[in-house]
Amino acid sequence: MAENSRQQWLSPEMTPLPKPPGHVSGLFGIDRGLFLLPSRIAVDVTRRQAIGFISHAHMDHAAHHALALCTETTARLVRHRLGNVTTKVMPWGQPIEVAGHVLKALPAGHIFGSAMLYTEHQRGSVLYTGDFRLEESATAEPAELCQADYLIMECTFGHPRYRLPPRATVIEMLIEKVTQSISRGATPVISAYVLGKSQEVTKILTSAGIPVLQDPAVYEISQIYQEAGCDLGDFRLYSGRPVPGCAVIVPPRSVTAGGLPGALHVERFHVTGWAMDPRRQRTAPNDHWIPLSDHADFDQLLTAVEQVSPKAVFCTHGPKSFVEELRSRGHDARWLE
């Protein structure tokens, strides 16, 4: 451990998490982010690296690497957000060899083009999920899990309070409330992330016959979706004036208590898995809260572990209590840090 105290390489000889005892893969290491060994290919590391896998184009998973490994759609989105990034495209399900590693991209179901990373080594196989969702999506490719010796899993909603209602119920709720808002003569203004959630909500609403106006930042991303083959239906750029019968989609925090510029009567919507948390709802009790998520909920996380059937699970980006939940179910689970 000569480089620095923050660097922590996981190996059979060093088990940094001694409770409970168990096998550690030796296939990956932590240095302010996840790296494959021995090559040091970065995995969703947010600072520039020589080679980095980017699971999707949200900025908490991407960086301007010298060489970025990603899907074709993610490459388009990364170039839009970060500039001229050199990319090596990973076709779905097809192994590619990079720096001595055989790598495979599998759909993650999170947003359009999002990918899990699978790699095999003589010491065992690893599946890294990144952000993922097992439930159907209006815009993302359906998730494809596979068996692996070691599972590195994002577990944002790893608490039982985040058992989301069935997707069909949530979509029906969204469409019904937006339709009612329009019938009252209001402008339904939906707050959603610029990349991913905005496009999915757009597709859901336009498929139900509700045209959509989009904030310019959302609209730019939606054009890339269209060019990459994901048709979002009847949407247009919001020009500063609402159109009767249309919903408006904006980035989070774009709508203030005073409403939306150009609109007289606004009803605000928040479309997020965090809608399941009463504390979030209390921050804006008069708004509509729709629990539509692009992350796996608590039950989907448990399902993913069962389907992958790994020797050990490494959890990240969620409550540490989820590790204890997995251990109580007989899994060798660790917190990755």
Domains of the chain, by residue range, sit at 8-161+295-335, 167-290
CA atoms 297, 298, 301, 303: torsion sign:
negative
Q: Is the pLDDT of residue 47 over 60?
A: yes
pLDDT for 13 = 32
Cβ neighbors of 179 (< 8 A, separation 6 or more) are: 208, 210
Give percent of the chain above pLDDT 90. Answer: 78
- Contact present, 68 and 87 (Cβ < 8 Å): yes
pLDDT for 258 = 53
pLDDT for 159 = 96
* pLDDT interval class at 3 (50, 70, 90): very low
pLDDT digits (tens, 9 = 90+) for 84-115: 999 999 999 999 999 989 999 999 999 999 99
Residue 313 gets the label, from left (phi > 0), alpha (psi -120 to 50) or beta, of beta
Q: Is the pLDDT of residue 243 over 60?
A: yes
pLDDT greater at residue 245 or residue 22: 245
For the ranges 25-34, 153-162, 202-211, the lowest mean pLDDT is seen at 25-34
Indicate the average pLDDT of the chain. 89
Determine the number of helices (DSSP H) and then strands (DSSP E) in the chain.
7, 20
Is residue 264 packed enough to be buried (19+ CB in 10 Å), middle (13-18) or exposed (0-12)? exposed
CA atoms within 13 A on the CB side of 174: 32
Domain at 167-290, CATH class = alpha beta
CA proximity to 208, closest of 182, 169, 234, 243 = 234
CA proximity to 77, closest of 59, 104, 96 = 59
Cβ neighbors of 275 (< 8 A, separation 6 or more) are: 281, 289, 290, 291, 292
Long-range contacts: 300-304, Cβ < 8 Å, 24+?
A: 300/133, 300/134, 300/135, 301/153, 301/155, 301/157, 301/158, 302/329, 303/134, 304/129, 304/132, 304/134, 304/145, 304/151, 304/153
pLDDT for 18 = 31
For range 64-88, the mean pLDDT: 97
pLDDT for 21 = 29
For range 10-14, the mean pLDDT: 34
For range 187-203, the mean pLDDT: 96
May I ask the CATH architecture of the domain 8-161+295-335? 4-Layer Sandwich (3.60)
For range 172-185, the mean pLDDT: 97
Q: Is the pLDDT of residue 2 over 50?
A: no
- Contact present, 150 and 173 (Cβ < 8 Å): no
Q: What is the DSSP letter of 259?
A: B
* pLDDT interval class at 15 (50, 70, 90): very low
How distant, in Å, are the alpha carbons of 91, 103, 160, 169, 248 from that of 293? Answer: 26, 28, 15, 13, 19
Q: Is the pLDDT of residue 58 over 90?
A: yes
For range 194-212, the mean pLDDT: 98
